[in-house]
Amino acid sequence: MPKIEEELDLEIDLEEPKMFKVLLHNDDYTSMEFVVDVLIHIFHKSHLESEQITLQIHAKGKAICGVYTFEIAHTKAQQVKQQAKENEFPLLATVEEDA
């Protein structure tokens, strides 16, 4: 049986995936300690960076916790929701497309 080699000249255009911001929102009930803990464990921030983001949330009403692909951003927002529910806090995490 003859060996047949076929060369394909395909050009594939790969696009960078759209990125999405995960934001945490301030409320009057969620403790700052809980927010710091969420930032450390879900968003893998350092303790210092977590405290800085928490103060920004408190002062400005919301802050960006990270920028991720669509699936990861929504997963992180769901993790925040679940963690908040388990600890009886109304902490809100939202996802917005990064400009």
**Structural domain contains residue 18:** no
CATH number at residue 85: 3.30.1390.10
Per-residue pLDDT tens digits for 12-47: 788 889 999 999 999 999 999 999 999 999 999 999
What pLDDT does 7 receive? 66
Nearest to 36 by CA among 56, 59, 60, 61: 56
> Does residue 14 lie in a domain region?
no
Q: What average pLDDT does range 65-77 have in this prediction?
A: 98
Position 67 confidence tier, pLDDT thresholds 50, 70, 90: very high
DSSP secondary structure, 44-85, as one string:
---HHHHHHHHHHHHHHSEEEEEEEEHHHHHHHHHHHHHHHH
Total domains present in the chain = 1
Q: Which residues contact 85 (CB under 8 A, 6 or more apart)?
A: none
- What pTM was computed for the model? 0.84
State the pLDDT at residue 92.
98
Predicted pLDDT of residue 11: 76
